[in-house]
Amino acid sequence: MSGRIQKIVILGGGTAGWMSALFLTQAFNRGGQRLLEVVLVESAELGTIGVGESTIPTLRRTMAGLGLDEREMMLACSASFKLGIRFTNWSAPPAPETYWHMFVDKPPVTAGLPAWHAWLKEQRDGSREPFAEGCVDAVDICYRNKAPKQPGDASFVGPVAYAYHLDAGLLGNYLKQKAIAAGVRHVVDNVVDVTHHEGDHIRALITATSGAVEGDLFIDCSGFRGWLINRAQHEPFESFADCLFCDRALATTVPLAADAPIKPFTSSTAMGAGWIWDIPLYDRRGVGYVYASAFCSDTQAETELLSYLHVAEPSRPIRKLRMRVGRTRSPWVGNCVAIGLSGGFVEPLEATGIFTIEIGLQQLWENFPLSDINPILRDRYNCTMRMYYQDIRDFLVLHYCLTRRNDTEFWRTNHSHPAVPDSLKDKLERWRHFLPQPGEIPEPKLFSEFSYISILAGMDALPAGVAPLPAVEYASRSEMERSIEALDERRRMLRNSMPEHRAYLNSLREQPAPHLGP
């Protein structure tokens, strides 16, 4: 390839494909100019997986950047709010049965120091208040099924950090309508071959009926198949199966009564060979069992899932999914960039699937070549994406390797984990003595020190010798009490002012119907 990039070809639809299409056409065709043509090619025969119904707060920024309206998006995707994750049965006594990993816009502070240091001092002095309840203001409204914002608040803005539960299939359709309205060309056809220039640059996708679709840059959004990056570009996939054992999922839906409360959080309940997600949307619950096939058969997994649902037979079909857990070694090879599942997937425990699409596109924009593919930009992109996947992998392994459960072979194996990554070992070794300060984990990262401490404290896995920063001992008691009182006042304010979650979502539907145009 030589000369300015003028045409981007995306293989695959769904959330990854259509978010990529909308993002790229808006990024390069602002103010009515048409600097780039964006074409999306997808097969009519292949559907999207659509199990990633839980998100993290980064999606708010991405949707706002795409110029979308929050209410319109939420109605189109049957969405509800998510303030965090409640984990149940992930360990054994003396760890608590339940703990929280809450969203925060910035690390909470007590007496001018990270709140977890003051919390740990109180624990060492005899307090038994759980970590999240002691440091985060929004746990209370989770218990009370409240929304994180008022009906009059602007799109993507509220007094509490939040994300969404949504139907991923509907999200893909919503983004599709927006992208086509913005000028993306849609080709529905089967790709039967890929041709190359000399070297590793793709020339065209050869379709069954539409002929060759040529391009200057190709985006692989073909999912776990990795049709371009792994097959056509022969880039190897690096599995994380040695440290993350879950490789299967069963997914179904459960109707939600029109007057039933809607929880503003994801529930993650540990089972015999994995865990179950329970995600409340506006009109139904998305429920699925993520499990390790080496420790549990499909039949056993379905029995556990039905037991969780308290039914003998499913009321809706159960989909069986195989997960490819790991990452493509280099998601950018030649003029091909893998976005979404083709680039990597690290199981849905912390809802990072859509985030990897977001960050992949953001990094592509920041490293986009003017003309010929610049190897320095390409290598910087690959290095950054590897570090993000490593960060996600380490954080997920943390949930498993800290467990005290020994009631099944799956949990015994995790308890004596044979392959904790060295990068996670290093973190845990540093934190044997003092908990971290904000900024200690190097960038780029998704999960902050607060998130790591949420899991360590929630699972009662803080080392016996760990201590708060010595500076906590110098903080005045009155200053700490003022900080605690301010947190309590903030909780009272949210408790009294935030609307009930279902009532808020109902109010969205009482306004004039949104349009789906640009």
Task: Answer whether residue 268 shows pLDDT above 60.
Answer: yes
For the chain, how far is it from start to end, CA to CA, in angstroms?
Answer: 33
Give one word for 347, left, alpha or beta, with left for phi > 0 and alpha for psi -120 to 50: left
Mean pLDDT confidence for 329-351:
97
Confidence of residue 313 (pLDDT cuts 50, 70, 90): confident
Residue 213, CA distances (Å) to 34, 216, 251 in order: 19, 10, 35
514 vs 154: which has the higher pLDDT: 154
Q: Dump the DSSP string for 24-76.
A: HHHHHSGGG----EEEEEE-SS--------B--THHHHHHHHTT--HHHHHHH
Based on the residue annotation, tell me whether 82 is a catalytic residue of this protein. Answer: yes
Task: Answer whether residue 517 shows pLDDT above 70.
Answer: no
Greatest mean pLDDT among 134-148, 367-381, 499-513 lies in 134-148
pLDDT at 2: 57
**Measured between alpha carbons, how far is 333 from 235 in angstroms, rounded to an integer?**
8
Residue pLDDT, tens place only, 63-118: 999 999 999 999 999 999 999 999 999 999 999 999 999 999 998 999 888 999 99
Task: Answer whether residue 518 shows pLDDT above 70.
Answer: no
Portion of the chain with pLDDT greater than 70, in percent:
97
Q: If we measure between CA atoms, which residue out of 465, 494, 515 comes closest to residue 161?
A: 494
Task: Answer whether residue 426 shows pLDDT above 90.
Answer: yes
- The CA-based diameter of the chain, rounded to the nearest angstrom, is 75
Record the pTM: 0.95
Confidence of residue 345 (pLDDT cuts 50, 70, 90): very high
Residue pLDDT, tens place only, 442-469: 899 999 999 999 999 999 999 888 988 8
Q: Which of 82, 146, 178, 263 is catalytic?
A: 82
Task: Answer whether residue 516 shows pLDDT above 60.
Answer: no
CA angle 7, 8, 14 (to 5 degrees): 150
Mean pLDDT confidence for 262-268:
98
465 vs 410: which has the higher pLDDT: 410
Task: Answer whether residue 34 shows pLDDT above 90.
Answer: no
Task: Answer whether residue 393 shows pLDDT above 70.
Answer: yes
434 vs 497: which has the higher pLDDT: 497
pLDDT at 51: 53
pLDDT at 262: 98
Task: Answer whether residue 509 shows pLDDT above 90.
Answer: yes
Over the chain, what is the mean pLDDT? 94
Mean pLDDT confidence for 240-245:
98
pLDDT at 295: 98
pLDDT at 340: 97
Task: Answer whether residue 53 shows pLDDT above 90.
Answer: no
Under DSSP, is residue 455 helix (H, G, I), strand (E, B) or coil?
Answer: helix
Confidence of residue 373 (pLDDT cuts 50, 70, 90): confident
Two structure tokens written together for 59: 């999606």
Task: Answer whether residue 410 shows pLDDT above 70.
Answer: yes
